[in-house]
Amino acid sequence: MKAITQERSRIRKTATRHRDGAALAAPSRGAPGSRARRTLRSTQWAAWAFIAPVVAYLVLFYAYPLYRNIDLSIRSYTVASFISGDAPFAGFANYSAIISNPTFAPALINTAIFVFASIALQFAIGLALAVFFHRNFRLAGILRALFLVPWLLPLLVSASTWSWMLNSDSGIVNAFLGALGIGPVDWLTSPTWSLAATTIANVWIGIPFNLVIMYSGLQSISGDVLEAASIDGAGGWQRFWRITFPLLRPVSAITLLLGFVYTLKVFDIIWIMTRGGPATSSTTLAIWSYQLSFGSLLPDFSSAAAVGNVLIIIAVLFALIYIRARHRLEGT
């Protein structure tokens, strides 16, 4: 990524500084360059002293749990073997078992629908609202701030509120649809609607994030370009699709990637609203992994860990696609 190239140039810079230091120190005839080298080494020491806690933290609280998780997925673990510590080696048996499990296909499809529907709607609505708020009318600032509320609420709070709003008999949504003459919809209890219901709640939560980032992206576009286009006779619609939208492409790409990574992980909303049901109709991979481990009386941690690792692989794959796409964009 960019960070790495930055680091490389930083190292190169340090190296140059080092050489200059040596050249300056040489005429003094003492140990040539030793002072420069010593200060350089001591700043490197300080730099590492400041970052070492986080590096240790990454190892202890990310790498080690992740390692434990991989270890879980290639052995057959039960709660008992957690404590005794000896679980037989199973290799990729857990992985082939979850792939041939009848829940795998629906979970994968549900994950794909949930993720793509969520980010498409969040992004489209967030972008439209960003363009709207960018027009700077009275109260725009306060209203934009209020739009942040759904994103700041605890997910559990939002999920329980939506559960009650989408309740078949007493929910306000069905009362509203009834007033329009549309029969009651079993949002949470019918396999047809449960995934849609959780997606609606998730879109509601995700709109503020997309709005804020796209708004900041819009602010970085210079007004001159749009003005020039306006003078050349481009209408509002044309200005948006020909100028604003292409200029927003880098911000859009990172927003969509982050949206993807976040949505893939979503657990709370679905678990509170439907627990993945009825049957497997709203079971995503994250929900399935939880069902297999903590959500069951006979936890199967090994299969659950395997499902979790499949999720990580998907996230990393998309991140790599993003990085490649960005390199290509920057290359041209």
Partner 1 sequence: MKRRSAWLTAIGVLFTVVMLFPVYWMINVSLTQTSNMRKSPPNLVPVDGTLAGYSVVLHQQLPYLGASLLIGIGTVLVTLVLAAPAGYSLAKLRPRGGGAVTFLLLIAQMIPAIVMAMGFYAIYIKLGLLDSAWGLIMADSTIAVPFGVLIFSAFMSRIPDELLQAARIDGAGTLRTFGSVVLPLSRNAIITVSLFSFLWAWSDFLFANTLDNGGSLEPITLGIYAYIGNNNQQWNAIMATAVVASIPAAVLLVLAQRYVAAGVTAGAVKD
Residues 236-275 that bind partner 1 (CB under 8 A): 251, 254-255, 258, 261, 264-265, 267-268, 272
Identity of the amino acid at 279: A
Q: Which stretch binds partner 1 (CB under 8 A): 23-31, 222-230, 233-241, 297-305?
A: 297-305
- 304 is a site residue for partner 1 (CB under 8 A): yes
Q: How far apart are the C-alpha atoms of 29 and 248, rounded to whole Å?
A: 57
Distance of CA 128 to the CA centre of its chain: 21
**Number of residues counted as binding partner 1 (CB under 8 A):** 104
317 binds partner 1 (CB under 8 A): no
Give the Å distances, CA to CA, from 75 to 64, 81, 83, 92: 16, 10, 14, 9
- Measured from the CB of residue 233, what is the shortest distance to partner 1 in angstroms? 21
255 vs 281, which CB is nearer to partner 1? 255
Span 147-186, contacts to partner 1 by CB under 8 A: 147-158, 160-165, 169-172, 175, 178-179
Contact string 82-121 vs partner 1 (x = CB under 8 A): xx-x------------------------------------
Q: Is 288 helix (H, G, I), strand (E, B) or coil?
A: helix
Considering only residues 4 to 63 of the shown chain, the ones binding partner 1 according to CB under 8 A are 4-8, 10-11, 14, 43-44, 46-48, 50-51, 53-55, 57-58, 61-62
Residue 75: what are its φ and ψ, rounded to 5°? Answer: -125, 170
CB closer to partner 1 out of 29 and 49:
49
Task: State which of positions 182-241 bind partner 1 (CB under 8 A).
Answer: 204, 207, 209, 212-213, 216-217
Report the DSSP beta bridge partners of residue 75.
89
Residue 15 tokens, joined: 């190296």
DSSP characters over 107-149: HHHHHHHHHHHHHHHHHHHHHHHHHHHTT--TTHHHHHHHTTH
